[in-house]
Amino acid sequence: MNKMYKVLATATILSITAIPMVIQAQAIPSTPNHKGQDTILNQVKVVPGTMGQITDFTNDKTGKFITVTGRGLAITDQSEIILSITKDTKIVNSKGKTIPLKTIIDEKKVVKAFYGPNITKSIPARGTALTLVVQDQSFTGINGTISEVNEGGIVVKGTDIYTLNEDTIVLHFANKTQILDPNGKAIKESELQPGMSITAFYGPEVMMSLPPQATTNYMVVNTAKEESVQESAPGTDGIITNVADNKLTVIGVPAEKGGVDYVIVTVDEKTQIMNQDGTPSTIDALKADVRVSAYYGEVMAMSYPGQTHADKIVIKTTDSIKVEGTVVASDDITKDQVYVNVGTDQSPYNDVVLNISEDTKVISILGGETELSAGMKIVAYHSPIMTKSLPGITNAEIVIITADDNGVVPR
């Protein structure tokens, strides 16, 4: 009797063990080898899949369909696909438990959608869903352009893949972030440059800073930069710090062909106003804190700052982050940093430490000293990337000295 039980148990174990092998492998017809013997090969089936959110659902007399938008599990898989849901489609969580499709849609769950290899050549492609596996974590994504590259992260400006809203986000790299070109070739972080178009996925945690910050572990990058506007005229590449009637105050760096770092330009019907992608814009888009390249002629009034007519204004896509406060003395900073007391209060929670480098443009509207010291009131534009320390530390791009009390304010 015991022997019979052992035989039955052995047979059961062998049959269970064989199940995943049947699912994962398919037999290829035998082919004779060089000695005339048959050789049997097993080949692993590769099932295409898309991971993302369900962005559309249709249920009518023609059937039940979902649209999954996200990224292909393999570089050759679809980033967006319309799938027919049939009675044979399995919808489960990561533990194999059945999940209602309505719950996935209502809660905007991320799924891995596996489908058969027979799909249409339409855009998006259409196929039949084999299995939907609900993921434990969610994510979102952005299509856009890299506007800034810093150590450990990038700033991306573009459109949210799922809401289609314009968005700007600072993305930090996870330990094993996949960075691929459109052909699936791996790219190093050091190869990323401003102007490259990108599709990146991030989350689920998003730090609600300005702009928001998150961690990415997957992105596809087109390493060809978008062509920027190239000008041969003098100009200033910077930020509009003030608008008064039809006059713009622009502070930044001189253009390659010459110019000044601090200028007031007059804008009128003769001024060509355009976006960075070359599309026309209007004077209404020229507001304080907007990044621009202002081009003008060589003739300029001998005032401080210089004044001239703007021949062309190119509006940049990069956001400007501004902080206002008083420079104060602090024992917690290095010689290349300044501590800014924001709001001139006693709370450190809204204060900022600015890294001052050789690339930082310091301008005094008083026309005097540009060496930053305690007691000076400043307006500073800085990188969107900031440490999570208290206070936060970031790189200063433009610092404008608006007043100088000529006194050391202790802190």
DSSP 339-400: EEEETSSS-STT-EEEE--TT-EEEETTSS--S--TTEEEEEEE-S---SSSSEEEEEEEEE
| Global confidence as pTM | 0.54
DSSP 32-53: E-TTS-EEEEEEE----EEEEE
Give the pLDDT mean for 321-340: 91
Alpha carbons 338 and 297: distance in angstroms, whole number: 36
Structure confidence at residue 32 as a pLDDT band (50, 70, 90): very low
pLDDT given for residue 406 in this prediction: 62
pLDDT value of residue 352: 93
- CA–CA distance from 241 to each of 269, 302, 389, 409 (Å)? 22, 20, 28, 27
Please tell me the number of Cα atoms within 13 Å of 74 on its side-chain side.
9
Task: State residue 220's pLDDT score.
Answer: 92
pLDDT digits (tens, 9 = 90+) for 277-292: 778 889 999 999 999 9
The two three-digit tokens of residue 160, written as one number: 């949210």
Mean pLDDT over 229-248 rounds to 84
Rounded Cα distance, 132 and 54, in Å:
11
Please say whether the beta carbons of 54 and 107 come within 8 A. no
Residue predicted with more confidence, 187 or 301: 187
Count CB atoms within 10 A of the CB of residue 270: 9
Task: Please report the pLDDT score of residue 239 as a whole number.
Answer: 94
Sign of CA dihedral 166, 171, 176, 179: positive
Is the pLDDT at 39 greater than 60? The verdict is no
Q: Tell whether the model's pLDDT for residue 38 goes beyond 60.
A: no
Question: What pLDDT, on the 0 to 100 scale, is given for residue 147?
Answer: 85
Q: Does residue 100 register a pLDDT over 90?
A: yes
Q: What are phi and psi of 227, to 5 degrees?
A: -65, 125
pLDDT at 227: 46
Residue 258 one-letter amino acid: G
CA gap 172, 239 in Å, rounded = 26
pLDDT of residue 298: 83
pLDDT digits (tens, 9 = 90+) for 43-68: 445 789 999 999 999 999 899 999 99
Distance CA 199, CA 143 (A): 5
- Is pLDDT at 87 greater than 60 in this prediction? yes
Q: Which residue has the higher pLDDT, 17 or 289?
A: 289
Residue 296: per-residue pLDDT: 94
Q: Report, as an integer, the average pLDDT of 219-234.
A: 69
Euclidean distance between the first and final Cα of the chain, in Å? 88
Q: What pLDDT, on a 0 to 100 scale, did the predictor assign at position 410?
A: 38
Single-letter residue type at 279: T
Residue 347: pLDDT band (50, 70, 90) is confident
40 or 276, which is more confident? 276
Residue 96 confidence (pLDDT): 92
Q: In which band, very low, low, confident or very high, does the pLDDT at 23 lie, cut at 50, 70 and 90?
A: very low
Distant-in-sequence, close-in-space partners of 201: CB < 8 Å, separation ≥ 6: 70, 71, 139, 140, 141, 216, 217, 218, 219
In this prediction, residues 320-337 reach a mean pLDDT of 90
pLDDT value of position 166: 84
CA 71, CA 219: separation in Å to the nearest integer? 9
d(CA 272, CA 380): 28
Reduce the DSSP state of residue 70 to 3 states and report it.
strand
75 pLDDT above the threshold of 70 = yes
Q: Does pLDDT of 13 surpass 60?
A: no
| For the ranges 108-117, 173-182, 276-285, the one whose mean pLDDT is highest | 108-117
pLDDT grade for 150, boundaries at 50, 70 and 90:
confident
The angle subtended at Cα 131 by Cα 126 and Cα 136, nearest 5°, is: 115
